[in-house]
Structures are given as structure tokens and as C-alpha cells.
Amino acid sequence: QQQVRQSPQSLTVWEGETAILNCSYENSAFDYFPWYQQFPGEGPALLISILSVSNKKEDGRFTIFFNKREKKLSLHIADSQPGDSATYFCAASTGYQNFYFGKGTSLTVIP
Amino acid sequence: EAAVTQSPRNKVAVTGGKVTLSCNQTNNHNNMYWYRQDTGHGLRLIHYSYGAGSTEKGDIPDGYKASRPSQENFSLILELATPSQTSVYFCASGERHAETLYFGSGTRLTVL
């Protein structure tokens, strides 16, 4: 059973647009949700994260919106740049243990 | 910045052969993890460890063994490799109850 689901599988936006990546989860016990960014040939790296006690987290052009009631969250990338082209993984954990990853969203930003 | 080094970067093995993937981290993290990444499946947890001498099964442990002989090293062992184990394998480390996993650059394994 997939604990964390992501959509869309792939997304293409123009430079300057806002990219929206979606994530949902099953387990109500999850309390920490990191997003990882992965470039080809590299391992994933932490981009931004949120705790379930918050409904929004911003870091520069990256914002997480979190809806605990609906068990959904989304990553918004404002003013998308070609350098943002990567695969983005939503993950979830309880107490920072045993992270469960979604299948990823492949983002392409066209100049 | 945490350093996680995997070796080899690429490996070609024959069906039925034994394969050992190695991982070394230099930041004294307690927890280490092995994931595999496949198109359409994302990252799936194979084995993990909370410290030297301990290994735990993840979500897809069948066909894999793990070894944590020291704080720094964590190996993934395929005793009898099969073509279905062709994948990219990532090692990660992190502090206990910490927010961040630090990933290595991956090992691409092809089993012929």
C-alpha cells in the first residue's frame, strides 16, 4: 500500500510560472513532511519541510501548503527557473523515523 | 555538510552471483538506510540501521541482507542476484530523531 502519493507524475511549466506539486498521505500519525529535490545522477537532497502543526512553510521561492484534515499538502515553486528542473519527492514520517517516500514528480521548466 | 559515499558507482553482475554495495558516512550519524529507486516506484526502503551491529528490515527486504559493522559503514548484500534487482541503490544517513536524511550519489546495479 502506497503510504504517500504524488501527482502529477510529470509537470512542464514555462520559466516564471508557478509550479504546483501535490502530495497526499494515508497515515494520520505522520507528523513531519519533507520535500526532497533530485537532479539526474545525484542523490535526493532536502529542499524544504513542514511539521503537521503548521499549515504553511516558506523558504524563498518554495512554499509548502498543508491541510491536515484532508491529509494533503502541496509544494509551490514560484517564478520557476530552468535550474529547478528536477524530480521532487514528498516524504512523510512519524517522529523523524522511517521516512516514506512518494513516487516523485518530474518537473521541467522551459526557458 | 554530511558526507555519504557509496561504492561502486556502477556495477554489472551475473544472475546468481553475490553483490556487495558499500556505504560510508563521516558524520557520526546513528541511522543509516538503503533505498532502491525504480521508475514508477520512487524510493523504497530495503533495510535500515540504528547503530553499529543493528539492522532492521524495511518495506522490501526480500533478497537482500544488510550489515552494519561500525558507525561509519553500512553494506547491502545480494547473496544471489537476480535481474529484478537491477536498479539504482541509494544509501542515506541521519541523526536519530532528526529532520534530514543525507543521501549518497547512488550505485547503479545491472544484473544480467
Residue ranges of the domains in chain A? 4-110
pLDDT at residue A90 in the model: 97
Judged by a CB distance cut-off of 8 A, whether residue A32 touches chain B is yes
Which domains, from first to last, does chain B contain?
4-111 (2.60.40.10)
The SS3 call for residue A7 is strand
Of B41, B90, B100, the CB nearest to A43: B90
How far does A60 lie from chain B, in Å, by closest CA?
19
Q: Per the CB < 8 Å rule, is A42 touching B105?
A: yes
Residue among A30, A3, A27, A4 at smallest CA distance from A90:
A4
In the predicted model, residues of chain B with pLDDT beneath 70 are 1-2
Whole-number pLDDT of residue A98: 79
Nearest CA of chain B to the CA of A40: how many Å? 10
A42-92 residue pLDDT tens? 999 999 999 999 999 999 999 999 999 999 999 999 999 999 999 999 999
C-beta separation of B78 from B85 below 8 A: yes
For residue B96, the model assigns a pLDDT of: 75
Residue B97's pLDDT is: 72
Confidence of residue A97 (pLDDT cuts 50, 70, 90): confident
Q: Which segment of A24-33, A101-110, B80-89, B96-105 scores lowest on mean pLDDT?
A: B96-105
Model confidence at A25, in pLDDT bands (50, 70, 90)?
A: very high
Domain A4-110 sits in CATH 2.60.40.10:
yes
Neighbours of A88 (CB within 10 A): 24
pLDDT for residue A74: 98
